[in-house]
Amino acid sequence: MRIDLSGRTALVTGSTQGIGRAIATTLADAGARVAVNGRRGDAVETVIAELRAENPDRDLIAAAGDVTTPAGTDTVLAATGDVDILVNNLGIFGATPAMDITDDEWRRYFDVNVLAAVRLIRATLPGMTQRGWGRVLDIASDSAVVIPAEMIHYGMSKTALLAVSRGFAKEAAGTGVTVNSVLAGPTHTGGVEDFVYSLVDQDLPWDEAQREFMRVHRPQSLLQRLIEPEEIANMVAYLASPLASATTGAAVRVDGGYIDSIVPETAAHTHPVRTSFRSFPRSVTAVRMSGERTAVGPHAARRACTRASLRQVLRPELAAGASSQATGVHLRVGSLDPNESRKAVMAMSDDSNDAATAASRLPALSR
């Protein structure tokens, strides 16, 4: 199988380093004319010179400009010309305690990680659809699904990017243009090295620091190492090629098995359990969600049971109505705040012999 992007022009934002540089290099090696982007013109020219020194046949153009602003976006697109392949790679990240993230930081993360991509898609998608071929690839992150406690503003922005990709894929339906996002896992870049050292002992050698970071902060990774940028770029090159013509509206994972799921969460929209909650308009039902227990109202439970990750009602006797008759436990919808919900779930743990035992642990909440 050979990926041939000859005759196609690609724009890769934030491509002077890290994942973006690897993507630009891989697309150029596949025959594409690639616009290298960064805010500083001298940095862009330096990268182009280095890449051409490695392979003089690479067709590279300088497209310096700040794509987080409308004026900068216009400058970059003027330098690039018609875009056949748009890779929205630009992004910022950093660890900040949740309660310390300011309004300005929330806005900055949205502007850079989401709105810049939206602006470029709006500018390039009409031309792609008119020509009957195009590829839009938004570089998201495992953090879009597994929100990291140390940077929830970053996770929010990457979750939003998944929605952007899916929405524009619908806009481009039937045109020959595909729009996808790539869920990149923890990747070895210069910026990530700084991030890793912000969370582990800075005196550790890099190999030890990397292992400590993965062990403590990303233990669910099946790869058990950081991903190399070229591994992300290989997937992007495939999705950018004619070989991926049937893949659109997808969130494609290159995460080293970090996301603990085998089925997309949007998969099962007609779960048969959904209707079983209609007979409990005022009760709280406990369900198992991705290995965790939570207390939810019946309407939320109905919605939740449409998701593939919901498989088991913790207490079948609750669904059968036994608890309301035997113990009188009937919690009003909305009566539980998050702390009360946690208590309720603890009371409904698997070591409870029956619903009456669970109810006895919740005297303040029982009706």
Give the residue numbers marked as catalytic.
154
The answer to whether the beta carbons of residues 196 and 95 sit under 8 Å apart is no
Amino acid, res. 326: A
* Residue 332 structure tokens: 């009003």
Q: What are phi and psi of 74, to 5 degrees?
A: -60, -40
Nearest to 134 by CA among 82, 60, 80, 170: 82
Q: Say how far apart CA 10 and CA 134 lie, in whole Å.
A: 10
Evaluate whether 87 touches 11 at the Cβ level (below 8 Å).
yes
SS3 of the chain: helix, strand, coil, percent, to 5: 45, 15, 40
Q: Are 89 and 106 in contact (CB under 8 A)?
A: no
In 3D space, the residue among 276, 271, 301 whose CA is nearest the CA of residue 288 turns out to be 301
Query: Nearest Cα to 188, choosing from 149, 146, 218, 153?
Result: 218
Question: What sign does the CA torsion over 191, 181, 236, 175 have?
Answer: negative
Cβ proximity of 141 and 183 under 8 Å: yes
Secondary structure of residue 228 in the 3-state scheme: coil
